Amino acid sequence: MATIAAVSTPNAVGGIAVIRISGDEAIAVAERIFTPFGGKKVSEMEGYTCAYGIAHEDGQRIDDCILTVFRAPHSYTGEDTAELSCHGGLYISKKILRAALKNGAITAEAGEFTKRAFLNGKIDLTQAEAVMDVIAAKNELELKMAGNLREGAVFKAAGRCSARLMKLLAGLAVWTDYPDEDIPEVDEESLLSELEIVKEELSALIVNYDRGRIVREGVSTAIVGRPNVGKSTLFNCLSGCERSIVTNIAGTTRDVVEESVRLGDITLRLSDTAGIRETDDVIEGIGVDIAWKTVDSSELILAVFDGSCPLSADDFELINKINNKKCVAVVNKSDEKKELENCQLEKYFQHIVYISAKENQGITELEEAVKTLFVINSDSFAAVTAANERQKMCIENTLASVLAAINAINYGEMLDAVNVLLDEAEQFLLELTGERITNAVVDEVFSRFCVGK
């Protein structure tokens, strides 16, 4: 393959920048644009060694650099690789990259270094996908989950399932291909027992997916309630800025205002909605309709009530419409005289918190309630989970074939049909790990990477 080069550090000014070169001619390209101070040639450097020297273009000095050499196959890509670390100026790094391109390298495509690591057998496809999750991690849980995937957790789980399926397929093949030989008949109980183990492992991967998705993407959350209960004040409190207009006039919020915020280890994709009430105002009525639609599409409802007055008819309408949703009852205005008794809400809500959004009180209790609803803790990610929709789809397809095979056995169908279904399941597992996959899928996976990784 051609020798590729790219700036692997962010496109911004910093302490250092790294220009990565990988391919059969990587060492030769590096030698043409870098001269070590010690006099030793770049081509004479061993893998995992560094040299201090000068990067140059057409004989003109560009910058003092450190060159690190990695020899195939002991590199990230599995190819000869050279990395030049220079001062972190945008112009300097681009000038050194241009020198590499003039001397035999071509520009790397998005994700091409990691793509080559996959193609050269350094990592499987699930590990490659985890690289971007490691880069994008915004908190300890995301990093822990991404690290788990980067270490091959999904690949190992798929491997365990694949080994069981291959053993079953081998037994079925011998029995069906040599009917005249004195071979013991396939034990259906043992077959079902093995398939149940595979089914449980695959099911766990799918169940855990939603936890991972919540950590990566956040929870779509609607803040709802009747006018003037403090929805927008709570929204601003959680956002840390004045995103929603707050007044004493009922019906101030008429459209949905959105913001992503961190609440502990969880990202909430917040929507501040119009106050829910009966109204003759056409524009406000549209806002109320949008609020109800937001409730229907949200994964979490923060139902806000005014603690300084009893429940109203509008409050009860809201309670009735959200009784099947994941919900936290947020009783606001705890800094004022209390008129809303606990007993009025306890029969409707399992999770109730008392806050003063204006005084920023009770937010920790709200965080704990949300965490309880979504079972987010560091131990959750000791479990293996699919990282994205591609992986989830492969696992679901595998599971569907395994379940079909179990049903076929239970209904007394021919073992030839079971054999076909198990072979189909095995093919889906190979697609998951990238051992059997089309170039189009590979290109799609790596197109989401940044250039230089």
- Domains and their CATH numbers in the chain: 4-119 (3.30.1360.120), 140-213+388-434 (1.20.120.430), 218-379 (3.40.50.300)
The C-alpha atoms of residue 5 and residue 444 are separated, in whole angstroms, by: 21
Residue 183: pLDDT band (50, 70, 90) is: low
Instruction: Identify which of 268, 277, 271 has the alpha carbon closest to the alpha carbon of residue 255.
Output: 271
Q: What is the pLDDT of residues 398-428, one digit of tens each?
A: 999 999 999 999 988 888 888 899 999 999 9
Assign 139 to helix, strand or coil.
coil
The C-alpha atoms of residue 92 and residue 98 are separated, in whole angstroms, by: 10
Share of the chain above pLDDT 70, in %: 88
Q: For the sheet containing 327-332, what is the strand order?
A: 257-263, 266-272, 219-224, 300-306, 327-332, 352-354
Residue whose tokens read 């980067």:
150
Return contacts of 444-449, CB within 8 angstroms, 24+ apart. Answer: 445/111, 445/125, 445/128, 445/129, 445/390, 446/109, 446/110, 446/111, 446/112, 446/114, 446/115, 446/128, 447/110, 447/111, 448/110, 448/111, 448/132, 449/110, 449/111, 449/114, 449/115, 449/131, 449/132
The C-alpha atoms of residue 137 and residue 318 are separated, in whole angstroms, by: 36
User: What Rg, from alpha-carbon coordinates, does the chain have?
Assistant: 30
The C-alpha atoms of residue 354 and residue 141 are separated, in whole angstroms, by: 27
Alpha-carbon torsion angle 291, 297, 301, 305, nearest 10: 20
Strands 106-107 and 4-7, sheet pairing = parallel
On whether the CB atoms of residues 104 and 62 are closer than 8 A, the answer is: no
Task: Please say if the pLDDT value at position 101 is more than 90.
Answer: yes
Instruction: Return the pLDDT at 186.
Output: 65
Instruction: Identify which of 236, 263, 229 has the alpha carbon closest to the alpha carbon of residue 367.
Output: 263
The C-alpha atoms of residue 234 and residue 353 are separated, in whole angstroms, by: 13
The C-alpha atoms of residue 408 and residue 421 are separated, in whole angstroms, by: 9
**Greater confidence, 282 or 180?**
282
- What is the token pair recorded at 451? 């250039």
Residue 69: pLDDT band (50, 70, 90) is: very high
Cα three-residue angle 99-103-105, rounded to 5 degrees: 95
Stretch among 144-148, 227-231, 254-258, 442-446 having the lowest mean pLDDT = 254-258
Task: Please say if the pLDDT value at position 237 is more than 80.
Answer: yes
Instruction: Identify which of 137, 154, 134, 208 has the alpha carbon closest to the alpha carbon of residue 381.
Output: 208
Task: Please say if the pLDDT value at position 251 is more than 60.
Answer: no
Amino acid at 269: R
**Greater confidence, 424 or 288?**
424
Across the chain, mean pLDDT equals 83
Instruction: Return the pLDDT at 383.
Output: 57
Query: Stretch 212-220: mean pLDDT, rounded?
Result: 76
Instruction: Return the pLDDT at 100.
Output: 96
Tell which phi-psi region holds residue 178, choosing left (phi > 0), alpha (psi between -120 and 50) or beta: beta
Q: What is the pLDDT of residues 155-179, one digit of tens each?
A: 888 889 999 999 888 877 765 555 5
Residue 190: CB partners within 8 Å, gap ≥ 6?
A: none
Stretch among 50-59, 90-99, 313-322 having the lowest mean pLDDT = 313-322
